[in-house]
Chains A and B, each alone.
Chain A
Amino acid sequence: MKNITQTLIFFLLLILIWAGITGDLSFMGLHCTLWSPYVLPSPSLVAQYLWDNTVNGKLPLSMLITLRRLLIGYVIGLVIGVPLGMLAARFRMVRNTVGVLGLGFQGLPSVCWVPLACIWFGQTEAALLFVVIMGTLWSVLLSTENGIRNVPPIYARAARTMGSSPMHTLLFVTLPASAPFVVSGMKQGWAFAWRSLMAAEIYVSVISGFGIGQYLHYGRELQRMHQVVGVMFIIILVGLLADKLLFSPAEVWLHRRWGTARD
């Protein structure tokens, strides 16, 4: 309870200051407007924008489009990344080839894929997905490999003496044993996927659907800064919600089971 109160008070203060310097608050009939709304829109303008466009359904629709892209790309990234990571941990050959490739590509911000993606796939959903997958795949691959290589070999030995086949050992011993690493890799992969998708949507306009990032882009083009700030809010919100709803429960469970410290 105390945590939530602290957080709430902090954010209320921030909004008050923001409202104070953008002319939303009046003090004895005086407004303080340090910046014009083109530079920094006031909270009321932003709130008005968010409200109107939620009610008329535009924002929810674009949210849906964006989240769909994010989820599909992320899941494909996981489905390729986790098994590749397992192979890289198991076979030196894979580690020396795909593993090194992953290390290289992980250091490449995924926006850098946008120009190529546009040429390969045109202004299509596929181009966006490709960028998201490139953002997810490598970090998931590397953390899975790292996780599996950190599993104490004694677990697999114990399992084998209990009659567990090599495949069973991989799926039911090595993989769960590496879960703390894999989950943190999945979380990092999610963060990368989200960033890459926003970058891609800002650069690439796709006729098949108008995503959140594209609203940000047009807000800038049309100098509608309240739109830009409103969309930024939404992007932050999605990030926070994903963390709280998807990853926090998994992490809490892991910490409780493994007994690793967390306050």
Chain B
Amino acid sequence: MTDSATHPELHDFPTARLSVEHVTKTFTTQGGTVVALQDVSISIREGEFVCFVGPSGCGKSTLLNIIAGLEKPDSGKALINGSPITEPGRDRLVMFQEHALFPWLDVIGNVMFGLKQKPNLNNRERLEVAKYYLYLVKMDNFAHANIHELSGGMKQRVALARSLAPNPKILLMDEPFSALDAMTREQLYGDIQDIWQKRKKTIIFVTHNVREAVCLGDRVLLFTPHPGRIREEFKVPLPRPRNINDHDLADLSQRITAALKGYHQAGECD
């Protein structure tokens, strides 16, 4: 399996624009009411790489879940290419913080899971596509390994292949690398940028790590909690591919961190 995989499925690069209009979402629990998102609006271009950063509890995952269709907003709406999102769909795949791979399937079985839901492909084509994505995340030598035999980083690679395989228009990544060590993460930063350029997806990437956000994103959105809102937006005009250790990143990272601290000290975060 090489880059020159032939199936037409692999030469299709769907992407989508995404907009979120005045979304508000509250959760009521025994402890009281939490405004997870208040009047949040964003618009994301086709093929754009956007990072959400912000302290814990500021609604990043909630917004991602709303876009994924796993959660419904109280008011406002999320639109993909102009049509409202009402339920989960193959055009928007999620990569969770925990790998969420299925332990009863082997590696290739996991990658095939989403492909099997796709009509218009026969099993041989599905296998070809699955193998291509395993190759793309450098896991092609582990196609028949059991999930528990993989390291944390390898699991996230497989999870990435599983999310990419059905060829979604949008990839939603919720702190996918936060449980990994620094070395593994560094490799993945390179790989994800490479894959993003090859597959031309629209990507939303949630993280706590400002430097990570600057390394990956075309744009970084800064969230603050209570109520969850988007406070500031930073464009990242740096050339790609970027390395997390590049000096160029330092300046912008510092500015974003300072902004975060500013809101923090103003008592708006806890």
Binding site for B on A (CB under 8 A): 152, 154-155, 157-164, 168, 173, 176-177, 179, 256-259
Contact = CB atoms under 8 A, between A and B. Distances in A.
Interface string B99-119: 010111010000001100110
B117 A164 contact: yes
Nearest to B162: A162
Given A160-B88, A162-B113, 14 more contacts: A154-B100, A157-B96, A158-B94, A161-B70, A161-B88, A161-B93, A162-B93, A162-B162, A164-B113, A164-B117, A176-B102, A257-B148, A258-B103, A259-B149
Interface of B: 68-70, 88-90, 92-94, 96, 98, 100, 102-104, 106, 113-114, 117-118, 146-149, 162, 166
B118 A163 contact: yes
A259 B92 contact: no
Contacts of A152: 100
Contact of A154 (B96, B114, B146): B96
A176 B92 contact: no
Contacts of A162: 90, 93, 113-114, 117, 162, 166
Contacts of A159: 113
A178 to B, nearest CB: 10
A163 B98 contact: no
A160 B113 CA distance: 11
Nearest to A259: B148
Given A154-B98, A256-B146, A259-B148, A163 B103 contact: no
A158 B94 CA distance: 7
Contacts of A154: 96, 98, 100
Contacts of A163: 88-90, 114, 117-118, 166
A179 B102 CA distance: 12
Contacts of B162: 162
20 contacts: A154-B98, A157-B70, A157-B94, A158-B96, A158-B102, A160-B70, A161-B68, A161-B90, A162-B113, A163-B90, A163-B114, A163-B118, A163-B166, A164-B113, A176-B102, A179-B104, A257-B148, A258-B103, A258-B148, A259-B147
A179 B89 CA distance: 27
Nearest to A173: B102
B98 A257 contact: no
Contacts of A164: 113, 117
A184 to B, nearest CB: 15
A65 B89 CA distance: 53
A164 B89 CA distance: 9
A257 B106 CA distance: 8
Contacts of B166: 162-163
A177 B113 contact: no
A65 B106 CA distance: 41
B65 to A, nearest CB: 9
Contacts of B88: 160-161, 163
Most central of A160, A163, A258 by chain B CB within 10 Å: A163
A159 B118 CA distance: 13
B146 A259 contact: yes
Nearest to B172: A161
Most central of A155, A158, A159, A256 by chain B CB within 10 Å: A158
A168 B116 CA distance: 11
B146 to A, nearest CB: 5
Contacts of A158: 94, 96, 100, 102
A179 B104 CA distance: 9
Contacts of A258: 103-104, 148
B100 A176 contact: no
B148 A155 contact: no
Nearest to B70: A157
Contacts of B90: 161-163
A175 to B, nearest CB: 9
Contacts of B113: 159, 162, 164
Given A256-B146, A259-B146, A259-B149, A161 B94 contact: yes
B113 to A, nearest CB: 6
A258 B102 CA distance: 9
Contact of B102 (A160, A177, A256): A177
A155 B146 contact: no
